[in-house]
Amino acid sequence: MTPLRTVDCRIEQRVLVNVQVDPEVAARLLPAPFRPRLVRGVAVAGICLLWLEAIRPAGLPAWTGLRSANAAHRIAVEWDDGPAPGHGVFIPRYRHTDSATTALTGGRLFPGVHERASINRTIAPDRVDAHLCSVTGDNAVMLAGPVVDRMPPGSVFADVDAATAFFARDSTGWSPGRRPDTLEGVELLAERFTLAPLGVEAMRSTYFTDPERFPPGSVQFDSALLMRRTPARWRALTPWRALTPWNVRARVAA
């Protein structure tokens, strides 16, 4: 397959579920050169739930595109080495998708290895109800709550503007490639980056409740944010080698 460099799509809906993590615990899940990006002394991690439509190579008309539902567990990071100093997110596990095409081409035709999952939601303009279960059964996510007008008490983000500024700057995502020591990157360029807070009624992630990764007291819910429909473009970044062998660090995160 000839690798793609740019993919266009429409974000139909994107949900960012955020948790606060003890910085030392978060650092153990990261290969060098990454370190946790801190807000008010805590690391910010979470889950990105993403529903896309009109996915196609840049330059093709939207009607040729595909649809998919996707998810990724992520940790906000920064780094000094690699291609250039910067910040973004690191995905310590493979991404998830309900699309056979995305699972086949991810990490081959375009960066980002994906595992298959069932990703369902109830579509409503003023709330989100979503469920994810990986085909292997070892990863599940549940989220439910309405759109509200302010961030929850206890969030590290003072208001929606502060949260939007933080996540708008973290448009670069890195994840393990099919080779254990390779990091693959993509950059998301959204035409509109507007977020609305969710009043979460229920949230569960088996990844963040695993005591081997996150000892009791090291992680707590922060907030959830909704991005609505907007055109977007994904740009492939040049892969680079992890400065610590990912296959070694992955045994800690697996």
Query: Does the pLDDT of residue 218 top 60, yes or no?
Result: yes
What is the tens place of the pLDDT at every residue in 159-191?
A: 999 999 999 988 899 999 888 788 999 999 999
* Residue range 65-85: mean pLDDT, rounded: 88
CATH class of 6-253: mainly beta
Query: Does the pLDDT of residue 48 top 70, yes or no?
Result: yes
Query: Does the pLDDT of residue 248 top 90, yes or no?
Result: no
Does 251 or 14 have the greater pLDDT score?
14
Rounded to an integer, what distance in angstroms lies between the CA atom of residue 129 and that of residue 138?
Answer: 21
Query: Could you tell me how far CA 97 lies from the centroid of its own chain?
Result: 12
Query: Does the pLDDT of residue 251 top 70, yes or no?
Result: no
Could you tell me the residue ranges of all domains in the chain?
6-253
Q: Quick one: pLDDT band at residue 254, thresholds 50, 70, 90?
A: very low
Query: Does the pLDDT of residue 253 top 60, yes or no?
Result: no
Q: Work out the mean pLDDT of the chain and round it to a whole number.
A: 90
* Residue range 101-111: mean pLDDT, rounded: 93
The three-class DSSP label of residue 118 is strand
Tell me what pLDDT residue 246 has. Answer: 47
- The beta strands (E) that lie in the chain are given as 6-21, 35-36, 38-39, 42-57, 66-79, 86-90, 95-97, 114-122, 127-134, 140-146, 172-176, 182-190, 195-197, 202-205, 219-241
Q: Are strands 38-39 and 42-57 parallel, antiparallel or unpaired?
A: antiparallel
Q: What one-character-per-residue DSSP string does 188-207 give?
A: EEES---EEEB--SEEEETT
